[in-house]
Structure 1
Amino acid sequence: YRTTLRYIVPGLLLYFLSWFILSGRITSINYFIVYMLVVTVGFILILTGGTLLSRIIKDALADDIFNADNETFPQEERLIENEYSINLPAKYRYKGKTRNSWINFIAVFRSVLVQGGPGAGKTAFCIRHFISQALNKPEPYTMLVYDFKFPDLSLIAYNHWLKNKHKYKAESGCYFINFDDLSRSHRCNPLDPVTMEDITDASESAKTILYGLNRSWQKKQGDFFVDSAINFVTAVIWYLRKYKDGQYCTLPHVIEFIQLDYSKMFTLLNMQPEVSSLITVYIQAFQNGAIEQLEGQIASAKIALATLSSPQIYYILSGDDFKLDINNPEHPKVLCLGNNPQKIQTYGAVLSLYINRLLKIINKKGKLKSMLISDEYPTIVADVTTTISTGRSNLICVLLGVQSINQLIKEYGKEQAEVIISIVGSIISGQVTGDGAKRLSEQIGRIMQDRQSLSINRTDTSISKSKQLEAAVPPSKIANFSSGEFAGVLADTPQQPMPLKAFHCMIQNDFDEVDREEKAYKPIPIIRNVTNLIVMKNFTTIKEEIEQIALSEMEKALEDSE
């Protein structure tokens, strides 16, 4: 301000004092020349000082200290729909105004990644709408819902299925897997012999269950003891698949089978030609008396699987209420798998087996469209990369919910996490920090932003303006999102190109309507009355069946040797 005053004060003095030059009766032209010079100099000084003052005032009044107005960009305001799309209403700011927009997921079969920390609003603002809109379609989706905090998502899926089940072209069903309330759970055998076509299916199932029980094993693929345990469980699964055409091919029977003593177990396994090559190394170690080596190879599998030796788990896994072919045109299904945050590792391993078997069964031609929703995806072991890559042509939409990319890397390893992140078509993110925020900011890209710099020195004040490419949504802003505030990038289709794919907005939820809807929800029904006596009888029966198999097959082996 001092520089400004140095111009304005002398200018005002000269300008107004010039009046005294003309106050007398002056006839000489020299006085008029002096008058004009004084007035001109005074006016120029006032003008210069005023210009500097206006710059300073304008800079002082600038209230966009977080650059919020500059970091806005045009977004898609059209509602773009197709028979598969999911559309979320939103509001965004652009050039100081709040405008309506739509987040149009028109290419859902290219898959969706939803990320956001606790309380960011992943479920309330995004996942619940995928469930409700998918089941409200004129021809509803078939669906798998992995419900980490059962029954939150399952209630939404069940009630929307109830309202729309008449829209399916064939009789549909809604099924639940719930290990905590057996009366409200269906029973299903994930090792259904009909779907176990060859020994590779047994190997994949063995990997899934062991990786689920020992999450660190995922990062040790190729390790001798890890592969030994997987081969051992593979051999047991395939033996039971071939024995009496899979009559006893269930996970509970597998768990009980591996508890047999070595002499019985290896004799039985060696009777099946297709698994003999897998167990040769174990038999040799047993025959050579290398019990410590044998224990090292097998004990890790026995100990891990023993944690699943529960009457409740045995009861659910040994039944056959439904098949996992949820997108079967003859019997479409909505399947809800319920986990418990207090028992993540145990239940997560079993649910991972369900999901991996289902992924292989449904990824075929000629099936109905399906949506696979995995809330808190890192809590299960399910390799979805193949499904994301190839499922688009089979009308399979995969939605993965994660709290952060770092969580995904921790559970799946950097290599597999990078693959998943890079192949999903659409990403929508709430509040996240660190690498997740940086990666999202880079994906959204940069926009041309106004830049202004103020320079003040002893004699002058100058303001420079320029335009620069800067991040449209910087990581620091993503780290400070409010609940319901989301940013991301969408995929489109050749038939419905969408130039404005990036978005940063507040998703609009009518919470009053949601509350009214939830109050009218029907609870998950009781499937059957299950007593503790029934559960324990099933548990005992499985143990007795394995003992009977061992007894009868050992007698047969003795007869053959004679």
Structure 2
Amino acid sequence: MQTGENDQAMRKILDMTRLISIVLLLLHFYVVCYGAFVDWHLVSGISDRLLGNIVKTGLLSSFLQPKLMALAFLVIALTGVRGKKDEKQTVRVALLYLVVGVFFFLASYFLLLVPAKDTVVALLYMGTTGLGFLLILSGGTMLSRIIRDRLQGDIFNRDQETFPQEERLLENEFSVNLPAKYILKRRERPSWINFINLFRALLVLGSPGSGKSYFVIRHVITQHIRKGFAMFVYDFKMPDLAVIAYNTWLTYKHRYKVVPAFFSINFDDLARSNRCNPLDPSGMLDLTDAVESARTILLGLNREWIRRQGDFFVESPINFLTAIIWYLRRYKDGEFCTLPHVIELMQVDYDSLFTVLSTQKEIDVLINPFISAYKRDAVEQLEGQIASAKITMARIASPQLYYVLSGNEFTLDINNPDAPKIVCMGNNPQKIQIYGAVLSLFTNRLLKIINQKNKLKCSLVFDEFPTLTTDIIPTIATGRSNLIATTLGIQDASQLRKDYGREQADVIMNIVGNMAVGQVSGDTAKFVSEKIGRIMQDRESLSINSNDTSVSRSKQLEAAVPASRISALSSGEFVGMVADNPDCKIELKAFHCEIVNDHAALKKEIDGYVPLPEVRKISPAIVERNYLQIRQDIRDMIELEMERLLSDPALVHLVIKKS
């Protein structure tokens, strides 16, 4: 502990050391310039005898020895100097003083060789040496007054916001491993992002251009196919990810125990699209399946209904569509249970429609309110209940959609061990609302079918997930035990809240175990920063007043990656967290690094990709014929049912005719 007595004693010691240095220099001047002192009459017998005794000690035995000793004592004196701190002082100026001072102090020897009077040479020598001594003294004092703030050159605090990250490659049969590099204490170090447990879901966040697909999602696809996963890929910009999945499947399909089949759904290119019925009767086991399907398709076509669930004019169309779907599921064991047939059946006149629906007792509770309103001539109420469903469903009544949705070339049980599949479904940014609703129906049916025990490990990849209205929460929460790995690509949490509502969006954001975040801003950046946590950082504070300047240092817990840093990430730079396993603990879960892609190798690989194959030759006539056939199927079904009811006295009472 420092006290006033200690400081005073230290100052006395430093003053004495400085005085010894000056005395040694004066003795050196007296010996070297003795002739000049004689001319100036500054010598005496006493001084000569004292000088003789000093010479006998060997202190003045050589020319340089006393000068160097004087310089050494001066350096010792300067070492303990504590000058008043000055933020204007710089190292460059102090070093300039020191270098020039040492030069004058040592080079003054050559002035003794000047052919001139002894007094002139002595004055030049002593003046130059003294000037050098004073410059050294001033330079050393300046050094002690410099404020050594090591953070002055790091105005963005980048050095303090670095932390150790996982540098081991931790790989297992389910993992996705991304090579990366990060900065630790101004040094670049290699690292690995080890997603060893993607069954706890992976959330990939980032604004457009941040590198979600190129740096993360494409590697999830390629590495999981390489490790034998069944896969579903939702490709927002078809066929970007589908081509990657297809070519990876071509390369590694021999590694599967049972070679998976590859299927794709593309509403814009029917020649390269397979046909699939999302309302496949084999997957519609009870009425709740019809309810979920109806809710999914209507909420997908009317996004604002998501936040109004429970309202009368939202639930009524859902019940009406449910009744239509379940009736077709029960009619001839689902012969016409397809979405196109559902749409066409909804357009039938009320007399025939309600008559046909009333023959199915399981949906009585659903259709009775509509039939009652119809019989009471409550036309406005009935139209309010039904018209919104009919108008909404009419948006997807196109021959192209009818063609894809009315076939049944594959089922959605992609993780069936006996018949695994890799399925890619594509959207179109120009037709998001229409295609998104249909694809939401596909994904909801798929999620329910695959989330079962004793199935093959499978990977679900959703690019631009908010463009779907899929209830992914049960799959994330319960699919882990069924080996379902889920990857969600999202631009921003606000996008998710806009389409799903705040509560559901918050649940999705909080239950995922793995997170990789590119450039995001606002509340999303704050959320990610808080999730990554805090680290201990050094802090310096300066206090400058008229008497003294003090520098205090401390350690504080601060955000490892502040929100401002996340909002300024470059493309390919990601922050986030990984989840571990009980048998493979990861202490360093957080990361802030740049993912390393071999761009040349990837470009070569992409250039070698083959396009998706043509499934069939297709013509507009075939598509139109299918469209007309579906409409004819419904007309025939209505005619047959009405004829059956009218010809049977026991059933004729079911025929509804508005009085």
TM-score (norm 2): 0.79
Are 1:542 and 2:630 matched, yes or no?
yes
Q: Which amino acid aligns with 2:317?
A: A
Are 1:424 and 2:512 matched, yes or no?
yes
Q: Distance in 2 between matches of 1:466 and 1:380?
A: 50
After the TM superposition, which residues 180-191 of structure 1 pair with which residues of structure 2 at under 5 Å, given as runs?
A: 180-191=268-279
Quickly say closer, same or farther: Cα 1:16–1:261, change in 2 above 3 A.
Answer: same
Residue 255 of structure 1, aligned match among 320, 343, 347? 343
Are 1:302 and 2:336 matched, yes or no?
no
Are 1:175 and 2:263 matched, yes or no?
yes
Q: Which amino acid aligns with 1:509?
A: N
**C-alpha displacement of 1:169:** 1.5
Residue 145 of structure 1, aligned match among 233, 253, 261? 233
Q: Distance in 1 between matches of 2:533 and 2:141?
A: 38
Q: Distance in 2 between matches of 1:277 and 1:466?
A: 71
**C-alpha displacement of 1:59:** 2.9
1:286 corresponds to? 374
Quickly say closer, same or farther: Cα 1:441–1:51, change in 2 above 3 A.
Answer: farther
After the TM superposition, which residues 439-450 of structure 1 pair with which residues of structure 2 at under 5 Å, given as runs?
A: 439-450=527-538
Q: 1:168 touches 1:332 (CA, 8 Å); kept in 2?
A: no
**C-alpha displacement of 1:55:** 5.9
Residue 267 of structure 1, aligned match among 325, 349, 355? 355
Instruction: Write out per-residue CA displacement over residues 31-78 of structure 1, whole angstroms, 9 at most, x where no aligned residue.
Output: xxxxx9xx99x9579822357745635338831111111101111000
Q: Distance in 1 between matches of 2:334 and 2:151?
A: 79
Quickly say closer, same or farther: Cα 1:444–1:547, change in 2 above 3 A.
Answer: same
Are 1:91 and 2:125 matched, yes or no?
no
Quickly say closer, same or farther: Cα 1:300–1:378, change in 2 above 3 A.
Answer: same
Quickly say closer, same or farther: Cα 1:51–1:62, change in 2 above 3 A.
Answer: farther
SS in 2 for 1:59: coil
2:224 corresponds to? 134
Q: 1:52 touches 1:461 (CA, 8 Å); kept in 2?
A: no
Q: 2:149 touches 2:540 (CA, 8 Å); kept in 1?
A: no
SS in 2 for 1:227: helix
Residue 165 of structure 2, aligned match among 50, 75, 80? 75
Residue 81 of structure 2, aligned match among 43, 47, 55? 47
SS in 1 for 2:506: helix
Quickly say closer, same or farther: Cα 1:237–1:81, change in 2 above 3 A.
Answer: same
Q: Distance in 1 between matches of 2:558 and 2:142?
A: 29
Q: Distance in 2 between matches of 1:297 and 1:312?
A: 28
Q: Distance in 1 between matches of 2:343 and 2:351?
A: 17
2:146 corresponds to? 56
Q: Which amino acid aligns with 2:330?
A: K
Quickly say closer, same or farther: Cα 1:262–1:481, change in 2 above 3 A.
Answer: same
By relative contact order (CA 8 Å, sep 6+), the higher-ranking structure is 1
Greater displacement, 42-51 / 309-318: 42-51
2:433 corresponds to? 345
Quickly say closer, same or farther: Cα 1:15–1:233, change in 2 above 3 A.
Answer: farther
**C-alpha displacement of 1:171:** 3.5
SS in 2 for 1:202: helix
- Percent identity reads 58
Quickly say closer, same or farther: Cα 1:433–1:288, change in 2 above 3 A.
Answer: same
Q: What is the alpha-carbon root mean square deviation over aligned residues?
A: 2.5
Residue 357 of structure 1, aligned match among 425, 441, 445? 445
Are 1:117 and 2:207 matched, yes or no?
yes
1:488 corresponds to? 576
Quickly say closer, same or farther: Cα 1:220–1:51, change in 2 above 3 A.
Answer: farther
Q: Which amino acid aligns with 2:631?
A: K
Q: 2:81 touches 2:144 (CA, 8 Å); kept in 1?
A: no
Q: Distance in 2 between matches of 1:254 and 1:117?
A: 38
TM-score (norm 1): 0.93
Q: 2:18 touches 2:77 (CA, 8 Å); kept in 1?
A: no
Q: Distance in 2 between matches of 1:75 and 1:490?
A: 11
Q: Distance in 2 between matches of 1:20 and 1:107?
A: 76
Instruction: Write out per-residue CA displacement over residues 407-454 of structure 1, whole angstroms, 9 at most, x where no aligned residue.
Output: 111110000011111111111100000111111111111000000112
Instruction: Write out per-residue CA displacement over residues 241-300 of structure 1, whole angstroms, 9 at most, x where no aligned residue.
Output: 000000000000000000011111111111100011101100000000001110000111
Q: Distance in 1 between matches of 2:474 and 2:151?
A: 56
SS in 1 for 2:422: strand
Quickly say closer, same or farther: Cα 1:547–1:98, change in 2 above 3 A.
Answer: same
Q: 1:171 touches 1:330 (CA, 8 Å); kept in 2?
A: no
1:103 corresponds to? 193
Q: Which amino acid aligns with 1:125?
A: F
* Count of residue pairs brought into register by the alignment: 545
Q: 1:15 touches 1:43 (CA, 8 Å); kept in 2?
A: no
**C-alpha displacement of 1:16:** 8.2
Q: Which amino acid aligns with 1:187?
A: R
Based on CA coordinates, which of the two structures has the bigger radius of gyration?
Answer: 2
After the TM superposition, which residues 239-254 of structure 1 pair with which residues of structure 2 at under 5 Å, given as runs?
A: 239-254=327-342
Q: 2:197 touches 2:580 (CA, 8 Å); kept in 1?
A: yes
Q: Distance in 2 between matches of 1:547 and 1:54?
A: 99
2:311 corresponds to? 223
Q: Distance in 2 between matches of 1:429 and 1:173?
A: 33
Quickly say closer, same or farther: Cα 1:343–1:47, change in 2 above 3 A.
Answer: same
Q: Distance in 2 between matches of 1:43 and 1:126?
A: 61
Q: Distance in 2 between matches of 1:346 and 1:56?
A: 69
1:532 corresponds to? 620
**C-alpha displacement of 1:211:** 0.6
Q: Which amino acid aligns with 1:56?
A: I
After the TM superposition, which residues 373-522 of structure 1 pair with which residues of structure 2 at under 5 Å, given as runs?
A: 373-522=461-610
1:4 corresponds to? none
**C-alpha displacement of 1:194:** 0.6
Q: Distance in 1 between matches of 2:417 and 2:639?
A: 43
Q: Distance in 2 between matches of 1:55 and 1:462?
A: 11
Q: 2:82 touches 2:144 (CA, 8 Å); kept in 1?
A: no
Q: Distance in 1 between matches of 2:555 and 2:374?
A: 76
Unaligned runs of 5+ in 1: 1-6, 30-35
Q: 2:165 touches 2:590 (CA, 8 Å); kept in 1?
A: yes
2:301 corresponds to? 213
Q: Distance in 1 between matches of 2:510 and 2:534?
A: 19
1:314 corresponds to? 402
Q: Distance in 1 between matches of 2:161 and 2:295?
A: 47
Q: 2:356 touches 2:641 (CA, 8 Å); kept in 1?
A: yes
